[in-house]
Structure 1
Amino acid sequence: MQREMPMMAAARRPKEVEPKLLEMCRHRLDAIRLCIQLSGLSHETIAEELGLDKGHLCRILQGKAYFPDTRTIKLMELCGNIAPMQWEAQAMGYQLSADSKAQRKAELMAELAALEAA
């Protein structure tokens, strides 16, 4: 499945997950499952977009195979949340914080694109 990318639209930034939901995750796999569940996307769509076999994704989610680290960022972008990254930071005793300068720049770019479109 191919999607068109609007050239002037601001990229959608993945959002943080409620800390209460992350507290229920026992390990990284739970955070990956949470990420997928919160997206509302089907497992078939996720597997296709990540370039994984549907059966392999099923085995990953059952804990019988490992999720490829090289696809974690794409998963978070696709699902629209950063649950796996938040869980890892929390597990190491860190807390994530957004880059306010980059966030403000993205907001201004989106505002500029909206003005140009009007």
Structure 2
Amino acid sequence: MPKYRDELDAVLRALADPTRRAVVERLARSPAIVSELAAPFSMALPSLMQHLRILENAGLVVSHKHGRVRTVTLRPGALDVVHLWLDEQRTPAERQADRLSIHLTRTNPKET
């Protein structure tokens, strides 16, 4: 059982909702203010704030308030736990094929 299971569970739960995935996809381009994030969705602002709170609790986003404006940013490395878990799920055959590919690239770089 991975040591980071609780963190992974929180991230996967947060990303299970399509609205939250859309927010993460938007924030991957650049930080945004809450009203900008809310624009594409047909929901009340308090509902979007709940989604943002879940993303923040999962460690995916951080928010900063400047006056009356709240800016939300995707936390660097936030999805690393998912990448780590997925990498651990790869089959031994996939790993061997990857190692073979690396070996062949090093020994015959002109043929790849």
Superposed pair shares fold, TM > 0.5 = no
More strand by share: 2
TM-score, normalised to structure 2, is: 0.30
Work out which of the two has the higher radius of gyration on C-alpha atoms and give 1 or 2: 2
**Larger relative contact order, structure 1 or 2 (CA cutoff 8 Å, min sep 6):** 1
Q: TM-score, normalised by structure 1?
A: 0.29
